[in-house]
Amino acid sequence: MIGKKYIIKTSLLISILLFLFNFSYVLADDIDYEENSTNLDDFSYEVSNTSESSLDLNSRACVVIDRKSKYILYGKNENKKVKMASTTKIMTAILVIENMNLDTTVEVSKKAANTGGSRLGLKTGDKITIKNLLYGLMLCSGNDAAVALAETVSGSVENFAVLMNKKANDLGLKNTNFETPHGLDSDNHYTTAYELAILSDYALNNSTFKQIVGTKYYTININGYSKNLSNTNELLGNLDGVYGIKTGFTNGANRCLVTACKRNEMDIICVVLGADTKNFRTKDSIKLIEYTFKTFTYINLKTKIDEGFNHWISNNSNLFYIEKGITQNINLYISAPSNPIIPIKKDEINDIEIIYDINMHLSAPISSDTKIGTLNVLLNNSNIDHCNVHIKNNIDKKNILFYLNDFILNYKNSLSYLF
């Protein structure tokens, strides 16, 4: 009898321990266990009073970049290496889309089916298309879908990580390293807020990826049976202009959110990493998005540079001297700025300054397209762009025949003056 009671108590204890272990493991992703759901109406006051000095962000690292110019519009620890949780799946998804036929049906392995954390709910032997796995990956953040996709593309999670890191290197992401397709905590699995924004910008250029991450609800089929999915991104469909892209949560990374938002012509990506709660990640994201659209506007930098250069030419063209040149007439042109359209704070539009560094004493011969200087564009004493200044026309050097002809012409003019 005593032995039975002992067995029962031991079994109960093991069951409790297993429950606690599994519960903490499930918490290691996007599933929301916070009692209070996020209500966007709660943030109306903060939004209306947002300024850079009063943002008061909870997130450990964040960044906002402009998709046109790739300029950083706001940053906080944006280059610090941090864990990224399920925002990892941005890389997973784009690699699958670029390398696979999405209509292909795959069979789910035991390893994929047994993957913990947030799940699509796959079982060993399930039949599902790659396209449906992608929706399960990006909408409900299925770690089981991530492993199934990695195995389909590369044969194993380890081989897929090699592919992920090669892509990261190709994109110039020097402070990013992947070990898994799902993003569960690992010391050598990290990125930065800035590089995650650059990766997201790249992925959003793919129309299939953009469509998937912009979908709020979707119905997939597993073994011929339908399953309804909803997107874990709380801002999608609730905040003006938001069209993606991915949430994330692990115990090590805390709450993460990458958001793409476009209003009128301005298109931005906002990344918040390491927020303490879902409410904080939502609040920080909204603050940054509203701050950006309130604060910045686009200006046509090329037009401003062209106008300034034309004014400079009109005041300085007669100051050029071309030693031994057959002509002193010089035609100039400038290369285009790297970003013709740039975002700038509305109250700094008149602070743009153009500095000219042009060699005005030249020696012939000079061939067309020769660079003779630069034009630097400054904002608050920081260089934001530059253009090269080139000569448009050929200018030949005076030769002996030119001097002889010049002498004869001057001699005739002298004779005509005397007689």
In contact, 208 and 97? CB cutoff 8 Å: yes
**Beta-carbon contacts of residue 417 (< 8 Å; ≥ 6 apart):** none
In whole angstroms, what is the distance from residue 80 CA to residue 63 CA?
Answer: 11
In whole angstroms, what is the distance from residue 318 CA to residue 324 CA?
Answer: 16
Query: What are the backbone dihedrals phi and psi of residue 82, each rounded to the nearest 5 degrees, phi first?
Result: -140, 165
User: Could you tell me which of 147, 144, 136, 131 has the C-alpha nearest to residue 179?
Assistant: 147
DSSP string spanning 351-413? GEEEEEEE--EEES-B-TT-EEEEEEEEETTEEEEEEEEEE-S-BPBP-HHHHHHHHHHHHHH
Q: Annotated catalytic sites, by residue?
A: 86, 89, 141
User: Which residues on adjacent β-strands are paired with residue 74?
Assistant: 64
Strands 72-76 and 61-66 come out as antiparallel
Q: At what angle do helices 143-154 and 157-170 cross, to 10 degrees?
A: 80
In contact, 236 and 243? CB cutoff 8 Å: yes
Scored b (16 or more CB within 10 A) or e, 220-248 reads bebeeeebebebbbbbbeebebbbbbbbb
Name the residue with tokens 């450990």: 60
For residue 365, say if its preceding peptide bond is cis, omega within 30 degrees of 0. Answer: yes
